[in-house]
Structure 1
Amino acid sequence: MNRLAAATSPYLQQHKDNPVDWWEWSPEAFAEARSRNVPVLLSVGYAACHWCHVMAHESFEDEATAAFMNEHYVNIKVDREERPDVDAVYMQATTAMTGHGGWPMTVVLDHEGAPFFAGTYFPPQPRHGQPAFTQVLQALSEAWHDRPEEVRRVAGQLREHLAASGDLPTGSLSAELLDAAVEKLAEEFDPMAGGFGNAPKFPPTMVLEFLRRYGSNQARHMVARTAAAMAGGGMYDQLGGGFARYAVDRGWVVPHFEKMLYDNAQLIGFYARLGTETGDRVARESADFLLRELRTAEGGFASALDADSPDPVTGKSEEGAFYAWTPAQLTEALGESRGAWAADLFAVTAEGTFEHGTSTLQLRHFPADSHERARLSEVRARLLDVRALRPRPGRDDKVVAAWNGLAISGLCDAGLLLGEQQYVDAALAAADLLVRLHLPGDGSILRVSRDGVVGPHAGVLEDYGCVASGFLSLVQATGDARWLTLATGLLDHALAGFRAPDGGFYDTHDDAETLVARPRDPGDNASPSGFSSVIHALVTAHALTGEGRYRDAAEEALATVAQLAERAPRFAGWSLAAAHTMLDGPLEVAVVGPSGSDRDALAARARRLPGAVVVVADGPRDDVPLLTGRTAVDGQAAAYACRGFVCERPVTSPDQLG
């Protein structure tokens, strides 16, 4: 075993038996490189990454390749999910040098951490115009020793580029800019298959939520088409619920099969908020998947399920082996008649829609007939039982604070909107775990825990934003002011330590480890950026507390993302959603009065209003300022709605809300 045997990260643990003499990211690793006068090779990936596994098997498990790496480099392995700050800096360098990014990421650094080469996957032999990994290693080692001035020049240029990228132009997220963003999104919308752009297609959850709140006919069409296409395609697990990370094709047929907590946490809430029959079904199935397959013994949620698993016949690890089917397998599981019916319904063909004659399961048309729905339910249950006998994909069981914050918010939305208390209970358990392990009590947050033991890595901005948002969701789900105190404590710590001079935010705290550049990226990716997640938390905190400083901070920060929202709205969806809520209000609703069906009906109506912040209580309370002075009306439950610093008369009928 190498040094990674002592790591807490499941991804690093996957490499503990490599012949590569791996180091974790540390000052000691760079000191070793200085003492030997060799460059640093940085390899970044994550546990559920298919191509990370491929490169590990081809190169890092190869004795000859490992020997060259050990002789000519100090080799550092980083889990991007554990150290997103390190990942962000060097992904920016990789994108600058190559025009694209992704994982595995391979970067070569000088002794000060400045990169002078970057790439992603490299094959063991020259292939498709790519050099072999060993050729790259040899060329870079020769450059280090024979052309040090060239290395210093490239490293210096990249250092300057990374430093300059922290400067963001300011502007105004006006109603006109939001209108223009919708028009640009409409230009990039795929009218045939839903979603935006061409393959590969990732679930554009944050953009869809912005469009849902925007609410024009054009926006509603883009939301409905994309939501239906994702739910009916192979990217959605038609048996067990939950979404794979992305589809490799335009039509959402073939996914990259890894299932990530951050995707599903967001999609659960989004589908629940749709208020449609499909939305409710998908939200419920996906929430059940989360509780069944990603929940940890400590009450938190694991990060991911792997894309690969052993093929039941060959035993060889294959992507999608757990999820794909052939017509013969359906017949074997269901019998000839039901097997043929299932093959037709799920688009399982003799030729196959995936690999090796297998097909992903699609469900483009949910049966309308009650008899057919009952038949489908029986078929799904049987296939799920049969699938459970297959070798399962591996699970990355580390608990990441930010993604558990997203799960808390998504489960609260699903629990409240679908009337499923078990989802709110699961959100509470995850929040209790975060408080117990990840919040040391000084206002800060620690990013990762595993098996009930918290790791040493400091939280980054997304941890503060997503966890604060999750806690604020619990205020609305439970009425417990404890969560408001915890959320505002996190936001105060973020405002004190992450603010940039222009009013925006850095991704790391003032006292965080100094890297070659301080990462700062307001753009959303598969999950909300730290920037946009903090904005949402600030907007909600202002609605609940009336504290103007939270709204002021949100407005100042949003000004720094205006240019991104104008040029590339697909990467600013969550900021656009926050801006729409602020420009539109935000809508704050206090529902008070005796518990019962009348109060429940008012609360249910209020929660369906886009972007609304809703709290429910028996009567007035001062520990949640939005409830201060709110009383029942003539003994009846009443809803008090305020928008844009103006409050309307309390109403007692759901029809009078919104």
Structure 2
Amino acid sequence: MANRLASATSPYLLQHKDNPVDWWPWGEAAFDEARRRDVPVLISVGYAACHWCHVMAHESFEDEAVAGLMNDGFVAIKVDREERPDVDAVYMTATQAMSGQGGWPMTVFATPDGEPFFCGTYYPKPHFTRLLESVGVAWREQRDEILKQGAAVVQVLGGAQLVGGPTAPISAELLAAAAAGLYKEQDQLYGGFGGAPKFPPHMNLLFLLRHHQRTGSAEALEVVRHAAERMGRGGIYDQLAGGFARYAVDATWTVPHFEKMLYDNALLLRAYTQLWRLGGDPLAKRIADETADFLLRDLGAPAGGLASALDADTDGVEGLTYAWTPAQLVEVLGEDDGRWAADLFRVTEQGTFEHGSSVLVLARDIDDAEPALVERWRSVRAKLLDARNRRPQPARDDKIVASWNGLAITALAEHGALTGSAASRDAAVALAAVLAERHLVDGRLRRVSRDGLVGEPAGVLEDYGCVAEGFLAVHQITADGRWLTLAKQLLDVALAHFGTGQGGFYDTADDAERLVTRPADPTDNATPSGLSAICAALVSYAALAGETSYREAADAALETVAPLFGQHPRFAGYSATVAEAALTGPYEIAIATHDPDDALVAAAQRHAPPGTVLVVGEPDQPGVPLLADRPLIDGRPTAYVCRGFVCDRPVTDPADLIARLTS
């Protein structure tokens, strides 16, 4: 037995390097070995922060007897879904088709050519043992049937991709239908959409905020405000340190699945920042500020970049770091403050979590409370966090994922620009530099790095889209032409190597590793789809650079996903967000000024229509098309407002600019 994971860069694969299983990393060598031995492959897909991945590893992969069955009858391949989203996408589609559901850990039995013939997710040890034995017998005695099934699954997978499907032009009617669909699915009591388990609907919130701003819909804004308040006061939000967990196991946002993902927090930072911008909600401002602090404090990597996630488990126990009993509160805070905190955070003797412990929720509105109450809350919170920091802490998946860091760059740039946070602004620029200098290799993106070293997996479409959008966000806050040039470079690669030829995009490049099928999923799920991410960058780049061909590519791609707006709006949140910007123009605002803190800039930031691109800087800065031929009028800071490459007269008065933007 020779486990081959010790040299992996993925923290998830390294978690399995000491298993008695003869694991292979994903690669042609593993499939060659399966052909040589004439055995099927067992592909196990998961990620480092996944609770049930840990459970299955402990029950089965660390067990000598189970490992013996795996080693004798299969070539076992371990895949980090975050490092290889292309592999995950192919086999997740197969798993959902064959079992009716998907999730991680994902367990796939495939032929030596990679064709899946039996798929599932988590299996308890007794079930998994029987499954290994049954598949082994079937491979020896029913080989022809297995091969036929694998070929049939691959054919279905190819047909499942929405390439060449129905299209529709972006319209106000389609976006109104998307909003109406979300209103119907809203949880009127607890906010958000659907029931348990309940995921933070960050992309749908971003869409509804833009929809509200374009249409004036009070209902759209209220749906966002209600969900944001319930999540921000719920257990899914870390009431002591900030940051959101992956999802709540209940419909009330009380008990989270404790893993904290970079992508969720980046997208939620954007949503709360924009909610505060539009509504002035103090809770939204506080949550945005604390989420930005969480990203930089808890996910910042020593070599630069933001780490992927914090684990759901601590020492093998889910939630061990985060849950409290009334006695523990009293022990840390004393009798009076302990009982007060138990009431404030709804920590009861019965408990809301496990073994009589509770997850902290905020039982009352603290953001508009009297100063004495706010001060007591802050004091109690600081003492509890200090005590919690002395507990065992969850592990951190410290790989740097290009697309997720791209999402964080955009979020931090927006937060910095709108709130004046220098820390967020500086972090956005620093993160962009890490991706440009480390992940961009020979003109192409690499998906992951760790400890300052870039990994081999090629970037997928979502990497190109999210990183390009992040570079464009940094261009806007710095007026540095370098970032516009780099974004164009990424978009040109995407257009040349990822296009379907029918308006849409594949998730992998035409020169990437060949899988059993080429994934092309346009739906938004945990993160923006590659298609919606690249469209966001294309729309912004076209507006910033004045190059209409990029806008035409975005419009064509959005038309391929537009039919989802009315049918499945919860899975088209980011593409609908981009469509709102496209339908609005988007506006292009250039402010020529020697003073970036001028009131004219603040007016533009607070009142800019959906998806506006905004550049502030000295006139005629090299590499900044939006500032070209844009002089100061009478020596005063001057705003130039354009829409669809058609410009109004310049304005120098903030009130005039606000009227122009809100008319």
- 8 A contact 2:600–2:653 mirrored in 1: no
SS of residue in 1 equivalent to 2:125: coil
SS of residue in 1 equivalent to 2:286: helix
State the shift of 1:197 in Å: 0.9
Between the aligned partners of 1:598 and 1:177, the Cα distance in structure 2 is 38
Task: State whether structure 2 residue 636 is matched by structure 1 residue 636.
Answer: yes
Task: State whether structure 2 residue 328 is matched by structure 1 residue 295.
Answer: no
* Structure 1 equivalent of residue 647 of structure 2: 647
Deviations 1:468-506 (A, max 9, x none): 011000011111111111111100111000000211000
Equivalences for residues 226-237 of structure 1 within 5 A: 226-237=227-238
* Structure 2 equivalent of residue 129 of structure 1: none
State the shift of 1:610 in Å: 2.9
SS of residue in 2 equivalent to 1:6: coil
- 8 A contact 1:401–1:434 mirrored in 2: yes
Equivalences for residues 30-179 of structure 1 within 5 A: 30-125=31-126, 132-166=127-161, 167=163, 168-179=165-176
- 8 A contact 2:596–2:617 mirrored in 1: no
Which one-letter code corresponds to 1:361 in the other structure? L
Which one-letter code corresponds to 1:475 in the other structure? H
The count of corresponding residues between Structure 1 and Structure 2 is 645
Between the aligned partners of 1:489 and 1:551, the Cα distance in structure 2 is 16
SS of residue in 2 equivalent to 1:531: helix
* Structure 2 equivalent of residue 331 of structure 1: 330
Equivalences for residues 491-530 of structure 1 within 5 A: 491-530=491-530
* Structure 1 equivalent of residue 380 of structure 2: 379
- 8 A contact 2:81–2:87 mirrored in 1: yes
Sort the Cα spacing of 1:83 and 1:605 in 2 relative to 1 into closer, same or farther, 3 A.
closer
Equivalences for residues 176-325 of structure 1 within 5 A: 176-215=173-212, 216-275=217-276, 276-310=281-315, 317-325=316-324
Deviations 1:135-193 (A, max 9, x none): 11111111111111210221121010111122332222221111111111111111110
SS of residue in 2 equivalent to 1:542: helix
Between the aligned partners of 1:594 and 1:40, the Cα distance in structure 2 is 63
Greater shift, 271-280 or 93-102, is seen at 271-280
Which one-letter code corresponds to 1:329 in the other structure? Q
Between the aligned partners of 1:288 and 1:45, the Cα distance in structure 2 is 28
Task: State whether structure 2 residue 564 is matched by structure 1 residue 567.
Answer: no
Which one-letter code corresponds to 1:150 in the other structure? E
SS of residue in 2 equivalent to 1:41: strand
Which one-letter code corresponds to 2:269 in the other structure? I
* Structure 2 equivalent of residue 314 of structure 1: none
Between the aligned partners of 2:607 and 2:247, the Cα distance in structure 1 is 29
- 8 A contact 2:586–2:610 mirrored in 1: no
- 8 A contact 2:269–2:288 mirrored in 1: yes
Which one-letter code corresponds to 1:90 in the other structure? Y
- 8 A contact 2:587–2:643 mirrored in 1: yes
SS of residue in 2 equivalent to 1:353: coil
* Structure 2 equivalent of residue 598 of structure 1: 598
State the shift of 1:604 in Å: 5.2
SS of residue in 2 equivalent to 1:4: coil
Which one-letter code corresponds to 2:309 in the other structure? A
Which one-letter code corresponds to 2:196 in the other structure? A
Which one-letter code corresponds to 1:337 in the other structure? D
* Structure 2 equivalent of residue 313 of structure 1: none
Deviations 1:253-278 (A, max 9, x none): 01000000011111112211112211
* Structure 1 equivalent of residue 586 of structure 2: 586
Which one-letter code corresponds to 2:580 in the other structure? H
- 8 A contact 2:106–2:119 mirrored in 1: yes
- 8 A contact 2:198–2:250 mirrored in 1: yes
State the shift of 1:651 in Å: 2.0
Which one-letter code corresponds to 1:490 in the other structure? L
Sort the Cα spacing of 1:418 and 1:141 in 2 relative to 1 into closer, same or farther, 3 A.
same
Deviations 1:319-365 (A, max 9, x none): 01111111111111100100111111111111111111111111142
- 8 A contact 2:208–2:224 mirrored in 1: yes
Which one-letter code corresponds to 2:617 in the other structure? A
Between the aligned partners of 1:359 and 1:92, the Cα distance in structure 2 is 37
* Structure 2 equivalent of residue 403 of structure 1: 404
State the shift of 1:606 in Å: 5.0
Between the aligned partners of 2:647 and 2:594, the Cα distance in structure 1 is 22
State the shift of 1:594 in Å: 2.6
Equivalences for residues 400-439 of structure 1 within 5 A: 400-439=401-440
**TM score, norm. by length of structure 2:** 0.96
Which one-letter code corresponds to 2:351 in the other structure? G
Between the aligned partners of 1:611 and 1:208, the Cα distance in structure 2 is 14
**Long gaps (5+) in structure 2:** none
State the shift of 1:599 in Å: 4.5
* Structure 2 equivalent of residue 619 of structure 1: 619
Deviations 1:418-442 (A, max 9, x none): 1111111111221111122111132
Between the aligned partners of 2:620 and 2:7, the Cα distance in structure 1 is 53
- 8 A contact 1:193–1:226 mirrored in 2: yes
| Percentage of matched positions with identical amino acids | 57
Between the aligned partners of 2:649 and 2:356, the Cα distance in structure 1 is 63
Task: State whether structure 2 residue 340 is matched by structure 1 residue 341.
Answer: yes
* Structure 1 equivalent of residue 543 of structure 2: 543
**TM score, norm. by length of structure 1:** 0.96
- 8 A contact 2:417–2:605 mirrored in 1: no
* Structure 2 equivalent of residue 16 of structure 1: 17
- How large is the Cα RMSD of the aligned pairs? 1.3
Which one-letter code corresponds to 1:277 in the other structure? P
- 8 A contact 1:305–1:395 mirrored in 2: yes
Between the aligned partners of 1:195 and 1:606, the Cα distance in structure 2 is 26
Between the aligned partners of 2:78 and 2:382, the Cα distance in structure 1 is 41
State the shift of 1:100 in Å: 0.8
**Long gaps (5+) in structure 1:** 126-131, 311-316
Between the aligned partners of 1:624 and 1:596, the Cα distance in structure 2 is 16
Between the aligned partners of 1:497 and 1:607, the Cα distance in structure 2 is 37
- 8 A contact 1:229–1:364 mirrored in 2: no
Between the aligned partners of 2:395 and 2:267, the Cα distance in structure 1 is 22
* Structure 2 equivalent of residue 128 of structure 1: none
Between the aligned partners of 2:428 and 2:603, the Cα distance in structure 1 is 19
Between the aligned partners of 1:355 and 1:324, the Cα distance in structure 2 is 9
Greater shift, 173-182 or 398-407, is seen at 173-182
State the shift of 1:596 in Å: 5.8
SS of residue in 1 equivalent to 2:598: helix
Between the aligned partners of 1:447 and 1:364, the Cα distance in structure 2 is 41
- 8 A contact 1:272–1:283 mirrored in 2: yes
Greater shift, 516-525 or 588-597, is seen at 588-597
- 8 A contact 1:273–1:608 mirrored in 2: no
Between the aligned partners of 1:601 and 1:488, the Cα distance in structure 2 is 26
State the shift of 1:605 in Å: 3.7
- 8 A contact 1:10–1:396 mirrored in 2: yes
Between the aligned partners of 1:638 and 1:249, the Cα distance in structure 2 is 51
Between the aligned partners of 2:491 and 2:606, the Cα distance in structure 1 is 26
